[in-house]
Structure 1
Amino acid sequence: PVAATIHGQRHILCVMRQGLVSLNSTNGAVNFSFWFRSPANDSVNAMNPVVVDDLILLSAAYYKIGSVLPRVKADGKGVEEVWRSTVLEVHWTTPIYHDGFLYAFSGRNEPDARFRCVEFKTGKLMWDRDESWPPHSTPTPPVYGRGSCILADGKLIALGEGGLLGLFKPDTQKCQELSRFQMPQLHYPCWAAPVLSDKKLYLRSEGRLLCLDLGRPGD
């Protein structure tokens, strides 16, 4: 769940199997619900919503359901769609919002993986990079696949699903990768997003947890 204040009202936003539900933070009453899911039973909604002002991004990777951007009405009791598109098909990661644009890994399976920049309010694709790889062909693919990323100090820190660690500069015109390094202790599947706290970067695979000290000596 994501807590957000929209039009002066506190919302607890939960993405459920059937879509988005907003709960009153005080008494748990339902403010509104919004249907969003694939018609197929073998599907899930796994990403957290991205909330900017009164706009909420939802995305899923199953059977071309894609993404939708609803706007919360002024009374907080309903939404209206702004755009809907397959420009992003996010499986489980959370897109990063920065200066009006989204940076996200898209795709349901390994051969579908893309890294994309999308304009938040319009759904316009700004750039696209292929991150696909043959399923289970190697535990450490040379791409990010369906990776995860966070924003810190104006940079994107990305962790690929095979343990590839990368640093990107947010840029709406082109994909700017500054550096990359395959973490030797990690391999597929790395499906948890990096966590940065007190200058320490935490990376996790299915069976291993790493902590990297990013501080300078003496800090």
Structure 2
Amino acid sequence: MHRALTTILQPLASLCTDKFPRLVVLLAALLSAEIAQGGDWPGILGPNRDGVGVDEKLADRWPAAGPKARWTKPLGSGYAGVSVQANRVIAFHRVEGVERIEALDFATGNSLWKADFEANYRGGIDSDLGPRCVPVISGNMVVALGAAGDLYAVSLDTGKKLWSQSLFADLGADEGYFGAGSTPIVVGDTVLVNVGARNAGIVGLELKTGVIRYKTSSFEASYASPITWQVQQKPQVIFVTRLDTVLVDPASGKYQNITEFGRSGPTVNAAMPLVIKDQLFLTASYGIGAKLLKLSVTSSGAVEAKPLWEADDVLSSQYATPVHFDGFLYGTHGREDGAAGELRCVDLATGKVRWKQANFGIAHVIRADDKLLFLTADGRLLLVQATPEKFTLLSAVDLLAPKGSPPAEPQEIAVMASGRATEGTRPLPALARGTLFIRTHSSRPQTSLSAYEVAP
């Protein structure tokens, strides 16, 4: 967006340098402000589903108390992170007997509209009743998948209900260990969902109407959300399902197997795949491990995957997706319900661990330029330099520290994984225009969403 504004304003500035100096100052201010603001965060892991804040800039350091909180908004239950477009922050949460899609004002957190749908999820291994999927913004629509596998669509402007589909119930899908947790993806005018039902493993629906266009395969559902990859200049969708990774044509539903990935038993695939040019990185815990594949396409359009490396002692992530920067992966290795996870930097080409930080815990990560924001499941926020040389901590804060307690030193915060499973910040964060949105999780049916100023 800022590039478009820059294109419009810069020629105007060049025309009025002498006669209208005040206008020049105003235009310069607009240009610099827009460039500093970055863009939107329309869905899970940002605009490209890779954890990168496009055009975002982060401060070099924070005060000891951490970045300033602009506002905090009480929400209901669930693990769903938010999406952001223009002045709207879209939250998805459960309030008593309804799953609520709610638009909040970017600047104030005030509610702009609410759309409520009957909540049908009764719970699983986790006592939290959801929802778990990040809402998806596409054009003037918001699409969200509830914990029981109910798919909703509303207007981004007004919250008007447009359509809904009880996908899991109508197609006979299993809710799994934790309910539905694979965020849908919109490609063109099609919504794709990993439903996991027999003969309806992956389902494509018309975005405007919710009408089912196709049902394909019997791949079981995972908790990993799909991404796109260009094949012969056409977007295709990569799904990491329960036991397989597949490539799906969003127009027809036709699919190709890429690789087996997963294992039977009490396991899940939850971290999202990463595509780096022609390479595909996959990661999971539970003894599954990580692997890097080189993808190629034949003249007939068939996709071939060549294994480059595979290991379970490099970067095996339970559910947090790492980020890539300049040939290196940054993310956490291990499980939240096991020994404290480690933060690691891994050479993408070789699978070699360049450095690791023990007792770090499990954390989501967002990259902005050459800096990394890590949000641990137990409520710690850390600003780290993205470098393969060594772990370089810039700032850190314990967001859930008791009120009135003196702030801990950053290096202490980096190794104080507490395993606060019942109270923490497990939902995915979002970064838009210099503002970091962090939602808490709780054993009670109340959570909160806070907006933090993290720009320079």
Q: TM-score range by the shorter chain?
A: 0.7 to 0.9
Report the secondary structure of 1:208's partner residue: strand
Which residue of 2 is the match for residue 139 of structure 1? none
When you count helix as a share of all residues, which structure comes out higher? 2
Structure 2: gaps (5+ residues): 1-225, 403-419, 442-446
- Please list, as runs of the form range in 1=range in 2, the aligned pairs for 1:81-100 lying within 5 A after superposition: 81-86=307-312, 87-100=314-327
The one-letter amino acid paired with 1:93 is A
Match of 1:70 among 280, 293, 302: 293
Report the secondary structure of 2:272's partner residue: coil
TM-score if structure 1 supplies the norm length? 0.85
The one-letter amino acid paired with 2:353 is L
Which residue of 2 is the match for residue 4 of structure 1? 229
Of residues 42-51 and 102-111 in structure 1, the stretch that sits farther from structure 2 once superposed is: 102-111
Whether the 8 Å contact between 1:61 and 1:89 is mirrored in structure 2 is yes
- Please list, as runs of the form range in 1=range in 2, the aligned pairs for 1:11-26 lying within 5 A after superposition: 11-26=236-251
Which residue of 2 is the match for residue 134 of structure 1? none
Q: 1:6 to 1:118 in 2, by over 3 A?
A: farther
- Please list, as runs of the form range in 1=range in 2, the aligned pairs for 1:43-54 lying within 5 A after superposition: 43-54=267-278
CA–CA distance in structure 1, aligned partners of residues 435 and 322 of structure 2:
22
Asked which structure has the greater RCO (Cα within 8 Å, sep 6+), the reply is 2
Structure 1: gaps (5+ residues): 132-143
Which residue of 2 is the match for residue 60 of structure 1? 284
> Any runs of at least 4 consecutive aligned residues in structure 1 with deviations exceeding 4 A, and if so which?
none
The one-letter amino acid paired with 1:90 is S
Which residue of 2 is the match for residue 32 of structure 1? 257
Match of 1:202 among 408, 415, 437: 437
Whether the 8 Å contact between 1:6 and 1:53 is mirrored in structure 2 is no
Report the secondary structure of 1:127's partner residue: strand
1:179 aligns with 2:406: no
What value does the CA root-mean-square deviation take over the aligned residues? 1.9
Whether the 8 Å contact between 1:110 and 1:146 is mirrored in structure 2 is no
Q: 1:88 to 1:214 in 2, by over 3 A?
A: closer
The one-character-per-residue Cα deviations of 1:158-216 (angstroms, maximum 9, x if unpaired) are 11111111100011011001110111389633222321012211011212211113357
Of residues 157-166 and 65-74 in structure 1, the stretch that sits farther from structure 2 once superposed is: 65-74
Mark the structure with the bigger radius of gyration.
Answer: 2
CA–CA distance in structure 1, aligned partners of residues 291 and 331 of structure 2:
15
CA–CA distance in structure 2, aligned partners of residues 18 and 126 of structure 1:
30
Whether the 8 Å contact between 1:32 and 1:78 is mirrored in structure 2 is no
Report the secondary structure of 2:303's partner residue: coil
CA–CA distance in structure 2, aligned partners of residues 214 and 189 of structure 1:
20
The one-letter amino acid paired with 1:203 is I
TM-score if structure 2 supplies the norm length? 0.42
Q: 1:28 to 1:151 in 2, by over 3 A?
A: same
Query: Could you tell me the percent identity over the aligned residues?
Result: 27
Match of 2:357 among 109, 129, 132: 129
CA–CA distance in structure 2, aligned partners of residues 185 and 29 of structure 1:
50
Whether the 8 Å contact between 1:110 and 1:145 is mirrored in structure 2 is no
Report the secondary structure of 1:111's partner residue: coil
